[in-house]
Amino acid sequence: SDQHREKTVFPLASCRVDDAEQANMGGDGPKWMVLDGDIDPMWIESLNTVMDDNKVLTLASNERIALTPHMRLLFEISNLRTATPATVSRAGILYINPQDLGWNPYVTSWIETREVENEKAVLIVLFDKYIPPVLEASRTKYKKITPIPEIAHIQMLCTLLESLLTPVNVPPDCPKEWYEIYFVFACVWAFGSCTFQDQLVDWRSEFTKWWCNEFKAVKFPSGGHVFNYYIDPETKRFLPWTDKVAKFELDTDIPLQSTLVNTAETTRVRYFLDLLIDKRKPVMLVGGAGSGKSVLINEKLNSMSDNFAVTNVPFNFYTTSEMLQKVLEKPLEKKAGRNYGPPGSKVMIYFLDDMNMPEVDKYGTVQPHTLIREWMDYQHWYDRTKLTLKEIHNIIFFSCMNPTAGSFTIDSRLQRHFSVFALSFPGPEALFHIFNNILSQHLSSHTLKFPTAVIKTTDLITQLALTMHSKMSSVFLPTAIKFHYIFNLRDLANIYQGMLFCTNECLTTPGRFVRLWMHEATRVYCDKLVDHKDQDTFAKLMAENIKKVFAEMPESEYIEKPLIFCHFVEGLGDPKYLPMPSWAALSKLLEEAMSQYNDLVGAMNLVLFEDAMSHICRINRIMEAPRGNALLVGVGGSGKQSLSRLSAFISGLDPFQVQLKKGYSMLDLKLDLAGLYLKAGLKNVSIMFLMTDSQVADERFLVLINDMLASGEIPELFPDDEVDNIISTIGPEVKGAGIPDTRENCWKYFISKVRKLIKVILCFSPVGSTLRVRSRKFPAIVNCTSINWFMEWPQEALVSVSSRFLSEIDVLPLQIRKSVSLFMAYVHTSVNIMSQAYLENERRYNYTTPKSFLEQINLYSKLLKFTVKDCLARSRRLQNGLKKLVGCSDQVEGLKSQLAEQEKIILEKTKAATELIKIVGKEQDKVAKEQIKVAEEERKVKIMEEDIMVKQKI
């Protein structure tokens, strides 16, 4: 199999040393072949015969590979968890205890590389003074955001010292105290950069307390953490990072989710990124979802000089080492021999996002991580076709990782290569600085000219937003069912992105400003809540916080129904973000939109009750936002697809859905997505890409959707010639935008346009664990979308829908339609209540969905029509029978009268006949007598004839 080929043949390819190569190795002693990596029974059992005395490997193809007598195998592994006794019994085991060598050999080796002699002596003293207690504290005193080997701290410390102890910072004749202050600064960050703040303890504060109590020689300014200060190169004193924070300028062309407002934390992380890039050292940022990791690194990478090239590599559950190697090798070119590197003399930076997401196999190995570690240790990997080594030069790895997702951690042998920085959720002061800056610059626009009273409300609005966000994070905690209850910087950014839609027409008074914030907070927070109880709690929290912050403002200034802002208040095609005056006005606008949709696109039979209209406004708001993508969660039949199509029509988007067919595969989906990319990126067509549960025929489809949402770049979506065509086509547009039309800039511009013009709308069901599992395997589905949770239809919706469909049934009397509609709604809600009781009593689920309600209406309609038709048929049959009976009755009466008349005639004729009979009787008597006479005469005549005959004969 491919896995066997990967794990067995590749190492053996290097083991098959021919005579010439053996001769070059020199000497008659043992030739050691190092097999570095995890052991699992799938391939190590194949080497049992190699490890025996005969040293012969038999492959599945019956090929036999013999090792020469002086060849040896050396397995370098971290543990024997998955090794079998057969393997262990064939090898000598040497366990290396971490304390056997410790940190001294590495530090001694590094100090020897320093050129200034007196510096070496100072460094030896400083290492001996600080490192033992700091290492002990790191084991027992504070918690790290992810497990980090001790040697990794030492490596990071030495790297930082290389960057800081320059001839400019520490001249040869400088005092020893200068060395110590730089050493302390580097040591604090080497050991403390991985500390973080969790829900209970701020470990950065704990580290600060311990450090200040333990070491008194170099004192930090009082107040705050030891991480809040940097060394001024002129005075050699600690100054706050806030002094180095760059001024923020709002760029309306950049989506707020990708905008970086510099704070003290981002400034200091950026400072260390610069130091580590100069030393070509890999860096890892670790933090929860929405903490700004990717934004910070992307901002840094986008500002790199032309000497660097960048490749984004988003990881997901299905990322394999083969897929990763293809992505890593694609931008490289062959140099001399087996050497490979980026084009020209550039340095390639690979950005590995969500690094801990790939699947962990049953033996505990993560194949992509093993490939990266192979390069970290040896600067090479194997060609998968030729089975030869590829030496890879001039590359650096940057990575991000969420410690609460995926496999949570990575292998310690890989982790040790990274310099780790923990990014926690910014504190209140930093948050206020970020979002108040954004809002203030928008309201200070000279072109929009907002009222002074509104501008003065900015600080209070930001205070209100941060207070509410803090409440949401503490009250609504994630559970197995409410797995998406995670509120981070993305949510705050979405709220402020909505507020940036407003113009001076929208914000006329401070009360309107508060109402706008209420709407945006409701859209971002409340729309993702899963039940009415949580929504009621949210409403109470919002009302309480508004009263606290705006205590003097009357409720009448900001409470007004409906609480809806949308882009089509003044009609389609004229987008202005304004409040909707009433439900009636919204209904009129949507009826017009649906009428146009039916005329231009196709028939859509929607019932626009209040809940449906509200969802249309929500989806439309997402589609109008920069890089707006939505996750619509609701049971079947709740209207997700229909409402999305109408919303897309209102926003002027072309809808696209995957058309599944037999054999539809990843390749087909890639072809569809490639077509959408070209249509959006080159033809400037706005597109809604709609995908439902039923269209996810293979879970691997979501790999492409995850990449599309996370970065917009899908590996191997286009062949090389198509990429060249895209770059040449879009080049003039890039140049016209004032951007140098380099290959990298053209591709970035193309992807940026695609992310702007393609809106991904995912319509998934919350039933079962499918959505939860998908969100864990493909984090962008939740992290990079706005969630809109479709609740059960309210009573008003049920009545409206049933009334609409019942009105189309002509046979249903008008006087009972309302009663039937109310009864249908009652039946549906009653079943919901009984289903809940059934779940509590029997622990079994019974789902009643809007689709069930529609099926109830449809069934009732069919049964009613069938019954009415049957009744009509029977009625007609009965009427026909009655008509025939009435006809027969008339005929009988006529016959009766005819019979009576005929009876009279018969009586008369009978009487006449009787008289005639009497006469005939008399005549008969006469005839009888005459007949007797005739008979007598005949006898006489006969006698006479006989006499005559006799006489004649004689």
Q: What is the mean pLDDT of residues 364-383?
A: 92
Q: List the one residue out of 544, 498, 548 whose CA is nearest residue 524.
A: 498
Tokens 């401070």, located at residue = 510
Q: What is the pLDDT of residues 880-922, one digit of tens each?
A: 999 999 889 888 888 888 888 888 888 888 888 888 888 888 8
Q: List the one residue out of 268, 144, 147, 153 whose CA is nearest residue 198.
A: 144
Tokens of 906: 């018969």
What percent of the chain has pLDDT above 70?
A: 97
3-state secondary structure of 649: helix
Please report which confidence band the pLDDT of residue 816 belongs to, taking 50, 70 and 90 as the band edges: confident
Residue 649's φ and ψ, nearest 5 degrees, are -65, -40
Q: What is the mean pLDDT of residues 82-94?
A: 86
Q: What is the pLDDT of residues 695-726, one digit of tens each?
A: 999 999 999 999 999 889 898 899 989 999 99
Domain with CATH 3.40.50.300 in the chain: 2-95, 282-425, 584-765
CB atoms within 10 A of CB 332: 19
In whole numbers, what is the pLDDT of the chain averaged over residues? 88
Query: Are 425 and 266 in contact, with CB atoms under 8 Å apart?
Result: no
Q: What is the mean pLDDT of residues 497-510?
A: 89
Rounded to whole angstroms, the Cα distance separating 296 from 271 reads 12
How many angstroms separate the first and last alpha carbons of the chain?
Answer: 146
Q: What is the pLDDT of residues 169-183, one digit of tens each?
A: 988 888 889 999 999
What is the full DSSP assignment across 826-874? HHHHHHHHHHHHHHHHH-------HHHHHHHHHHHHHHHHHHHHHHHHH
Query: Are 284 and 296 in contact, with CB atoms under 8 Å apart?
Result: no
Which of the following CATH numbers is that of domain 584-765: 3.40.50.300, 3.40.630.40, 3.40.50.720, 1.10.10.10? Answer: 3.40.50.300
pLDDT of residue 197: 86
Q: What is the mean pLDDT of residues 483-505?
A: 90
Tokens of 3: 């896995």
Q: What is the mean pLDDT of residues 575-585?
A: 90
- Which alpha helices (H) appear in 150-246, and where do they start and end? 150-164, 176-192, 203-214
Q: What is the pLDDT of residues 523-569, one digit of tens each?
A: 999 999 998 899 999 999 999 999 999 988 898 888 888 999 999 99
Tokens 């040449």, located at residue = 728
Q: What is the mean pLDDT of residues 99-118?
A: 89
pLDDT of residue 751 exceeding 60: yes
Q: What is the pLDDT of residues 632-648, one digit of tens each?
A: 999 888 889 999 999 99
> DSSP code of 7?
I
pLDDT of residue 497: 92
pLDDT of residue 3: 45
The angle formed by the CA atoms of residues 181, 184 and 190, to the nearest 5 degrees, is: 140
pLDDT of residue 163: 93
Pairing verdict, β 565-566 and 578-579: antiparallel
Q: Is 344 left (phi over 0), alpha (psi -120 to 50) or beta?
A: left
3-state secondary structure of 507: coil
Q: What is the mean pLDDT of residues 291-300?
A: 88
Largest CA distance in the chain: 206
- Provide the residue type at 615 as one letter: H
pLDDT of residue 10 exceeding 50: no
3-state secondary structure of 690: strand
- Provide the residue type at 502 as one letter: C
Q: What is the pLDDT of residues 448-488, one digit of tens each?
A: 888 899 999 999 999 999 999 999 999 999 988 899 998 98
What percent of the chain has pLDDT above 90?
A: 45
Rounded to whole angstroms, the Cα distance separating 812 from 503 reads 51
Domain with CATH 1.10.472.130 in the chain: 103-244
Q: Which CATH class is domain 282-425?
A: alpha beta
pLDDT of residue 695: 93
Please report which confidence band the pLDDT of residue 24 belongs to, taking 50, 70 and 90 as the band edges: low
Tokens of 17: 């040393």
pLDDT of residue 54: 80
pLDDT of residue 17: 44
Please report which confidence band the pLDDT of residue 78 belongs to, taking 50, 70 and 90 as the band edges: confident
pLDDT of residue 8 exceeding 50: no
Q: Exposure of 743 by Cβ count < 10 A (0-12 exposed, 13-18 middle, 19+ buried)?
A: middle
Q: What is the mean pLDDT of residues 51-64?
A: 79
CB atoms within 10 A of CB 665: 12
Q: What is the pLDDT of residues 413-460, one digit of tens each?
A: 999 999 999 998 888 888 898 899 999 988 888 778 888 999 999 999
Rounded to whole angstroms, the Cα distance separating 637 from 855 reads 10
Please report which confidence band the pLDDT of residue 1 belongs to, taking 50, 70 and 90 as the band edges: very low
Query: Are 226 and 208 in contact, with CB atoms under 8 Å apart?
Result: yes
Rounded to whole angstroms, the Cα distance separating 390 from 382 reads 6
Residue 718's φ and ψ, nearest 5 degrees, are -120, 145
pLDDT of residue 26: 59
Query: Are 145 and 422 in contact, with CB atoms under 8 Å apart?
Result: yes
Rounded to whole angstroms, the Cα distance separating 850 from 140 reads 56
pLDDT of residue 447: 79
Rounded to whole angstroms, the Cα distance separating 739 from 730 reads 12
Distances (CA, A) of 294 to 242, 285, 297, 298, 713: 22, 9, 5, 6, 14
pLDDT of residue 9: 44
pLDDT of residue 5: 44
Please report which confidence band the pLDDT of residue 25 belongs to, taking 50, 70 and 90 as the band edges: low
pLDDT of residue 4 exceeding 60: no
Query: What number does CATH give the domain 2-95?
Result: 3.40.50.300
Q: Is 292 left (phi over 0), alpha (psi -120 to 50) or beta?
A: left
3-state secondary structure of 398: strand
- Which alpha helices (H) appear in 567-639, and where do they start and end? 583-600, 610-624
CATH architecture type of domain 103-244:
Orthogonal Bundle (1.10)
Tokens of 218: 């170099």
